[in-house]
Each structure stands twice: as C-alpha cells, then as structure tokens.
A and B are shown apart, each in its own frame.
Chain A
C-alpha cells in the first residue's frame, strides 16, 4: 500500500469516478452502481415458504401460506391491515418468535436450507436475511459510521476491512456525498429519508442475501420515498427483496411480482402488471380498485 496516505474513516484517499451511475434528478447524488456491484456474492437466492402458519398465542395470523420469492426480484406483499403480511415477513428472518407467546409452524427455505431446522443458528439466519423497518431506527448513541458498522463490528470485523465495507455500503445507498464529511456525527442527526437509507446501508453492510422491507417508506416524505424506491430498484440486481406495502402505487412502481393477502392467506400471487390490470380473483380486483381495504 505504498504511496497512499494513512486511512482515517472520514474519507477515502482517492475516490473513483463511478463509470456507471444513475443520476437522481433532485440532487446530484449518484447511486454508485460500482459499489453495489462489489456487494453480494453474485448469485441469486430464492426464498420459499412452505405451509407456514404463525400464531400470537392462540390467535392465528398467518394460515398455511406457501409462496416462492424469486431470486433477484422484488416481490411486494399487499393487503388490508391485519391480513398477516408483516407477520409473514417476520417469520422469514425469524423475528416473529421474539414476541412473547408467538410461534411458527411450517418451513422457510433459503435456497434449500430450512431456517427453522433444529440446530440452525438464528443469528446466522438474520445475517443472511436482513430487515428494514417502517420507522427508521438508527442507534441513537452511535455515529453515522458506527451505525453502518454495527452489524459488522459486533460480529468481529475490524480495521481496514471494516472501513471499506462501511464506505461501500454508504456509497451503494447514495448517502456517501451527503455524509462523508460527518461520519462521526450522530446517526440521528440526519433527515428521515437519510436515516432510512442509513438503516438500509447498515443492513447491506453485513452482506445478506435477502432483504425484507416492512413498509419502509410509510414514515417518509414523497421525495425521500422516491429515492428509496430508486435504491430498491438498483438493489435487486444483488439481492432478493420482499417488500410489504400498503401503498399500491408503490407496489406498481417497484415490484416485479405482487402477492395479495387476506385474513392470513394468500389470495393471489402474480406479476405486478397482472395483479393490477387483470387479477384472477374477484377479491383481488375489489382490493386493487379500492372497493375495500
């Protein structure tokens, strides 16, 4: 490493001009596709859910669902409040079982491995399947850098590798130029949209294979929403993405295929265009045309 000045985590000594970049029309922030292409292992991963039921005590929230989420695609799950879409998604990364009294039946397969198999390390499951929540939740006592590094650091990554991965994640979500001069400032000092992108950076820094998003834009303003949606569109080249949303227009914008759920069951799962223009089930048709929900 001769000739390069000593690293500090505040800036890289040389910053490559991205050769391929998409421009966000509202600022000149560029989503760094090169950074994105360095993430992940290059192969797509499928998530399948087999006869999955989820309970809160005696209350069944998800009833025998079988679904496949295709690799490197965005699948949206839509449905009225209480239909079980958030619960379903939380079963995929085994967050549902953290609720006292909650239980799960059935299988969830990442490629061909059941995440609920006995002997499986639940923290490894969650490192492979990341989650972004509805309200941005950066750690308040940590700086921007430490937030993105949290998952890495507390899993043993240190030093130069750590810095590179944090920088890469920030560039991949398009936050780099906004925060590169204040990486040691508190993470909660950012705007809502920036905080959410920070949380996404934190999630992809641990290099998962699947990203689950539970209404990631519902707490954001429309411009921040658009930025996050654009990011989702870029991320799918590297990850399999499942997004829960109550906003049907959003599903129409970002999702390759869409699942419509009602009362804990899947009513229909089809390419997004089809769900919205030519649904097979009458209930789907009534929901997407706004007759209920």
Chain B
C-alpha cells in the first residue's frame, strides 16, 4: 500500500510529480472552452452588428410609418408590412395559445403518464417539422383553388407556434407543487376549479413567458408565409385577413431580390427591425421566466 507521507527528502506540501503538466492541460482546456463560448456569443454579435451597420442608414421615421412607393420610385417605408405582421402574429397567437394551454392542462392534470409522454413526443415532433412543409400543408388546404389570405398565413404560423407554447406551458404546470392541488382536493373542490383558480394563477407568469417565446419565434418565420401570404397588390395597410397580408419576413425577401440598391438598403433596415423585435421579446421572456421560477421556489 502506497504511503501517504511524502518520500524522504520532500516537504509535506510540495507539489507531486506531474503537477506542472496537469496545470498546463488544465489551462489549455479552460482556454478552449472559453474560446468556444466566445465564438457562440460572437456569432450572434456579428450578425446583429452587421445588420445594424447595413440597416441603420435607412431607418427613419418615414421608413416606419409610410407605405411602400410604386415600383421604380425611391423612398417609402414598410408600415404596411409592420401592421400586417402584427396582425398575423396576433391572429396566430390567439389561435395557438389557448389550445396550447389546454393541451398542457390535459397532460399535467388529467392524462395518464403514458398518454402524457406520447403527447409530449408528438409536440416535439411537430416542433421539428420544417416550416416550409407546414407552409405547403396549409397552402394545399386553404389556398389551392382559392387565393392567399391572412387567415391561411395565421393558421400556418399558429401551427408553428403551438408546440413551443405547449411545451413551455407543460414545463411550468409541472412545476406547480403537487401539494397545492392536494390542498384544493382536500377542501372538497372540483378538479376544474382547482385548475382554473389555483394551478393556472400560480403558473401564470410561466405561461405568459411561453406565449412570448412563441411570438418571438413566429415573428420571423418566412416559409409558412411564402406560400400563404406573399402576393399582395395593395401598397397600403391591409387589415382584412381574407386577403394576403403584407409582412416583414416576405418583404425582406422581396427587397433582397430587387435590382435597386435603395431597396437593398430598405431590406437591411427591415431585417434590423425584425431582429430587434425578436431580441427584445426573447430577453423579456427570459427575464420573466427567471422571476417566475424564483417566486415558485421561494
């Protein structure tokens, strides 16, 4: 058995052989891990800064408040796309969030563990469906034989948004302690009352966060809209979802295809608007998530 006392001639606290080499390896691994982390964050910064540099020159109040000008002219803005996007996102959210929350309530309160697991898996699969496929699906369902519409676009976006909000809602409902439900049951309350008045209010913060995450995601989805809401003739604000509605992602695509450099500049500016919106929404969602997690632990 090796003796634990230092070999003759060495002091008690002097380093053992190989320490120097181990220290170097340690530092190297630390450096590699740090570089990887910096790279990941760096890419994000690069994208944002690049878009900002190219897009800022074209951003002004006119850009945000005026409609596009007819082909060939310069100037104008993306007001119609901003409004159109807002309406599409709002409709998609109105369609998907209630359904998502109901799904989450079902899996956390009423379903058997097996059914619950199957539904979670199905939602994860839905989350992984390429959005172009979702777009084609809704196209075949609602646009073929008719025309594009804001409704079709909203439904396509809603299908993309649903699994995000549902999974987030499931996570947060599972975090509500079982003891709260038991307290409600022991008082002689019915299941639905317990869900509505005790479980949902307790989970409210996290549910809102999930909805914001869903919004952040679909705000920039292009493929679903490419087939359902990409051909609009009006150069003014549209609020009727029965027609195709202008929207920012498709507009960026259009502007980038145009030969005119001023259109390109507007394209960068629109990209900047979009990425800022998504960033801000994500930050808000993350902050709200932290707060509600802290409150539920405390």
Contact = CB atoms under 8 A, between A and B. Distances in A.
A200 to B, nearest CB: 12
A138 B198 CA distance: 10
Considering residues B182, B184, B188, B201, which has the most beta carbons from chain A within 10 angstroms of its beta carbon?
Answer: B188
Nearest to B177: A137
Contacts of B193: 154
Given A100-B113, A133-B179, A135-B179, A123 B186 contact: no
A135 B190 CA distance: 22
A126 B187 contact: yes
A130 B184 CA distance: 11
Given A140-B202, A154-B193, A154-B197, A127 B188 contact: yes
B189 interface: yes
Considering residues B186, B187, B189, B197, which has the most beta carbons from chain A within 10 angstroms of its beta carbon?
Answer: B186
Considering residues B112, B177, B182, B295, which has the most beta carbons from chain A within 10 angstroms of its beta carbon?
Answer: B182
B120 to A, nearest CB: 17
Nearest to B176: A140
Contacts, number: 69
Interface in A114-145: 123-128, 130-131, 133, 135, 137-141
Contact of A126 (B113, B188, B296): B188
A126 B183 contact: no
Contacts of A52: none
Given A139-B198, A140-B202, A141-B201, A151 B180 contact: no
B201 A133 contact: no
A202 interface: yes
B202 to A, nearest CB: 5
Interface in B73-89: none
Given A123-B190, A154-B193, A95 B202 contact: no
Given A135-B179, A137-B182, A139-B180, A206 B198 contact: no
A172 to B, nearest CB: 17
B186 A95 contact: yes
B189 A123 contact: yes
Contacts of B179: 133, 135, 137
Interface string A68-96: 00000000000000000000000001010
A137 B180 contact: yes
B187 A206 contact: yes
Given A100-B112, A100-B113, A139 B186 contact: no
A133 B186 contact: yes
Contact of A133 (B112, B183, B198): B183
A276 B295 CA distance: 45
A135 B201 CA distance: 21
Given A98-B185, A150-B187, A155-B188, 7 more contacts: A125-B188, A127-B187, A139-B202, A140-B295, A150-B197, A151-B188, A202-B187
Interface of B: 112-113, 177, 179-180, 182-190, 193, 197-198, 201-202, 204, 295-296, 298
Please list the 8 inter-chain residue pairs (A to B) with the smallest Cβ-Cβ separation, ordered nearest first. Answer: A127-B188, A151-B187, A126-B188, A131-B186, A141-B201, A137-B179, A123-B188, A137-B183
